[in-house]
């Protein structure tokens, strides 16, 4: 079966976790930073995505902390999640390379 492209939100959440475990709010701010402010996830959307990623085995709970009487749960990328992210990143890189190659000089001034 042909594998479908990963949704952008999923890609960004996995990317946020690639450098180490993070708690929910840190993931939200990191996703906004990685996407240069273009993607701003809301809490409900994030937790729906984390639930699905945990079910798929791509993300796992790393640890819990209590900070200022609030529970903070940290999430980490699993080995399978890292492999999926790497495969998707490679696919995007190859597609981008093909697009830039065909655009030639027209890609100038796009920050590429």
- Note whether 13 binds other proteins by CB under 8 A: no
Q: Which of residues 17-56 bind other proteins (CB under 8 A)?
A: 23-25, 28, 42-48, 51-52, 55-56
The b-or-e profile of 12-48 (16+ CB within 10 A means b, else e) is bbbbbbeeebbbeebbbebbbebbeeeeebeeeebee
For other proteins, the closer of residues 19 and 55 by Cβ is 55
- 16: number of CA atoms within 13 Å, CB side? 28
Q: What is the per-residue binding string for other proteins in 60-89, x denoting contact by CB under 8 A?
A: ----------xxxx----------------
Q: 66 forms bridges with which residues in the sheet?
A: 71
For other proteins, the closer of residues 1 and 101 by Cβ is 1
86: left (phi over 0), alpha (psi -120 to 50) or beta: alpha
Q: How far is the CB of 92 from other proteins (least distance, A)?
A: 19
* Residues of the shown chain interacting with other proteins in the complex, contacts defined by CB under 8 A: 4, 23-25, 28, 42-48, 51-52, 55-57, 70-73
């Amino acid at each position: 079966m042909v594998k479908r492209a990963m949704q952008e939100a999923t890609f960004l959440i996995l990317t946020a976790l690639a450098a180490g475990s993070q708690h929910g709010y840190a993931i939200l701010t990191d996703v906004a930073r990685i996407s240069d402010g273009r993607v701003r996830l809301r809490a409900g959307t994030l937790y729906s995505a984390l639930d699905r990623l945990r079910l798929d085995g791509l993300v796992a709970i790393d640890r819990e902390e209590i900070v200022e009487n609030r529970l903070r749960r940290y999430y980490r990328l699993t080995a399978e999640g890292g492999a999926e992210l790497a495969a998707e990143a490679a696919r995007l890189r190859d597609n981008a390379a093909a697009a830039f190659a065909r655009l030639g000089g027209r890609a100038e001034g796009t920050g590429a």
